């Protein structure tokens, strides 16, 4: 099966459904979280309209690594992630091979004994949730991965999966539409319609829609939209560079990462490569405003971050991007339909060198394509999944670089929440107010 590249900024809109005057639920954003929420709501008879300012999966949902993992996650996410893995399997039954879903395992490769000891400690979390995670040492890893130069061992979860991002989310969107969801691309939601502290609908660039429930699942744009609605959502975004190699020997069928780079087998016979958790960050007005909240993360992860003074024009946190606008005027979401940053060439060169050093018998990989995406993140590296202080306005954002895999689980959680059901999982970790109620910032695991 051929794996498609990320959806580019020049992609044509495929969905132009007429907008109704009213719906039960309006979803802002056509990424994995918005699309799966729409699907599960429609399956329960809800009238759902999904508005996407650009094209479905045009941003991070087609630009990520393609991992579907429980390993290494924040403990509060694991129950949702285990549900997500079950939902991925169900979606594959509905859609077939187009998802590229494979139970291949995920491995964290330890550069030294200290890293291996951290992995051993995380096993306590894994065992509490029934995961099949385990740690192996240097000799066992060398037998499994004979071409490598020598890691101290690995943390492995064989039941974790991978899928093809550029194919999966568009396919799920097609399924959602077939099951009754109205999808409109090139249709930015400019603002909420609010009366007496309750949402009564939205104003789109193509006119208003009435609804008493709205979900914001706008990825890197969510913080900007929320601020215009009068809400403080301390969300920022970072640029992550990714590449696809030419076809290579199948030396590792799963997904793995070490301190320098990550890789996973692709359906087209190559590998997706990325420079681990290293990223680029542009300082903007939102970053300055939320600096204090991000200090714990900055202290821990600054070594992974390359700082830039100012984001390109039109980016969510660029200095010239408007912070306020009126519903009857064009919004920043119309000015940039698809946020498609250029990859960092220095990181790509380093990525090839790091791969060659780790696998000297394979050598320097040839890259077929390279791209980048803007990852929406929160100060504690876990998402907001909650109803906001505006009644009827729900938020699912800040997926912090691991939203693709957990996406169907988040869709199920938000579909339940928006129908007033008691949550199937403990969602206190993901509440909207945790950054304003005096709670200390608790960072996700550092593995």
The mean pLDDT value for 231-251 works out to: 95
**Contact (CB, 8 A) for 194 and 63:** no
- For the entire predicted model, the pTM comes to 0.96
Q: Residue 254 pLDDT more than 90? A: yes
> What is the chain's mean pLDDT, rounded?
95
**The predicted structure's pLDDT at residue 400:** 86
Q: Tell me if 435 sits within 8 A of 234, measured CB to CB.
A: yes
pLDDT of the residue at 146: 85
Specify the pLDDT at position 13.
85
* E-strand stretches of 187-321: 189-195, 198-204, 207-210, 213-216, 236-245, 255-257, 262-265, 271-274, 279-282, 305-308
Name the nearest CA neighbour of 398 among 412, 384, 388: 384
CB 304 within 8 A of CB 143: no
Helices (H) and strands (E) counted in the chain, each on its own, are: 11, 22
Output 309 or 426, whichever has higher pLDDT: 426
Lowest-confidence pick of 20-24, 300-304, 355-359: 300-304
Averaged over 259-284, what is the pLDDT?
Answer: 94
Q: How confident is the model at residue 43 (pLDDT cuts 50, 70, 90)?
A: very high
List, in order of start, the domains of the chain with CATH numbers. 25-105+159-435 (3.50.50.60), 106-158 (no CATH)
Which residue in this structure is represented by tokens 């420079």?
275
pLDDT bucket at 1, cuts 50 / 70 / 90: very low
Tens digits of residue pLDDT in 373-421: 999 999 999 999 999 999 999 999 999 888 999 999 999 999 999 999 9
pLDDT of 147 strictly over 90: no
Summarize the confidence of residues 175-181 as an average pLDDT.
98
pLDDT at residue 5 above 70? no
Record the tokens describing residue 348, joined without a space: 């790509």
**Res. 2: pLDDT tops 60:** no
Tell me which of 122-131, 140-149, 196-205 is least confident.
140-149
Say yes or no to pLDDT of 289 above 70. yes
Instruction: Give the pLDDT confidence score for residue 71 in this predicted structure.
Output: 97
Lowest mean pLDDT among 7-11, 79-83, 280-284: 7-11
Cβ neighbours around 295 below 10 Å, total: 12
Residue 63 has pLDDT above 70, yes or no: yes
């Amino acid at each position: 099966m051929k794996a498609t590249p990320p959806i580019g900024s020049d992609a044509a809109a495929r969905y132009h459904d007429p907008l109704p005057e009213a719906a039960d639920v309006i979803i802002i954003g056509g990424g994995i979280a918005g699309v799966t929420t729409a699907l599960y709501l429609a399956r329960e008879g809800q009238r759902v309209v999904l508005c996407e300012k650009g094209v479905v999966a045009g941003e991070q949902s087609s630009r990520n690594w393609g991992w579907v993992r429980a390993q290494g996650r924040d403990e509060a996410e694991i129950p949702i992630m285990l549900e997500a893995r079950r939902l991925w399997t169900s979606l594959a039954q509905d859609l077939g091979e187009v998802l590229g879903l494979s139970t291949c395992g995920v491995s964290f490769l330890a550069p030294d004994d200290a890293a291996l000891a951290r992995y051993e400690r995380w096993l306590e979390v894994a065992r509490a949730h029934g995961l099949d995670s385990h740690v192996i040492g240097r000799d066992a890893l060398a037998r499994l991965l004979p071409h490598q130069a020598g890691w101290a061992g690995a943390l492995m979860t064989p039941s974790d999966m991978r899928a093809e991002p550029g194919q999966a989310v568009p396919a799920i969107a097609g399924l959602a539409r077939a099951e009754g969801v109205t999808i409109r691309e090139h249709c930015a939601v400019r603002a909420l319609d609010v009366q007496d502290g309750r949402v009564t609908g939205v104003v789109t660039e193509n006119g208003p829609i009435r609804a008493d429930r709205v979900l914001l699942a706008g990825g890197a744009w969510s913080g900007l939209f929320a601020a215009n609605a009068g809400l403080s959502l301390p969300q920022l975004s970072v640029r992550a560079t990714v590449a696809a190699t030419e076809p290579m020997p199948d030396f590792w069928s799963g997904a793995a990462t070490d301190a320098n780079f990550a890789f996973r087998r692709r359906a087209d016979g190559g590998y997706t490569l990325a420079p681990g958790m290293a990223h680029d960050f542009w300082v903007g007005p939102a970053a300055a405003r939320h600096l204090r909240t991000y200090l714990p993360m900055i202290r821990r992860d600054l070594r992974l971050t390359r700082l830039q003074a100012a984001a390109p024009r039109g980016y969510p946190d660029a200095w010239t991007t408007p912070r306020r606008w009126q519903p009857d005027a064009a919004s920043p979401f119309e000015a940039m339909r698809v946020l498609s940053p250029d990859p960092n060439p220095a990181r790509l060169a380093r990525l090839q060198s790091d791969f060659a050093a780790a696998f000297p018998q394979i050598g320097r990989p040839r890259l077929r394509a390279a791209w980048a995406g803007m990852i929406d993140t929160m100060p504690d590296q876990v998402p907001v999944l909650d109803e906001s202080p505006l009644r009827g306005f729900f938020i699912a954002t800040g997926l912090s670089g691991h939203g693709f895999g957990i996406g169907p689980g988040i869709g199920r959680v938000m579909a339940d929440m928006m129908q007033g059901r008691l949550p199937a999982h403990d969602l206190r970790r993901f509440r909207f107010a945790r950054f304003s109620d005096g709670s200390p910032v608790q960072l996700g695991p550092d593995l």
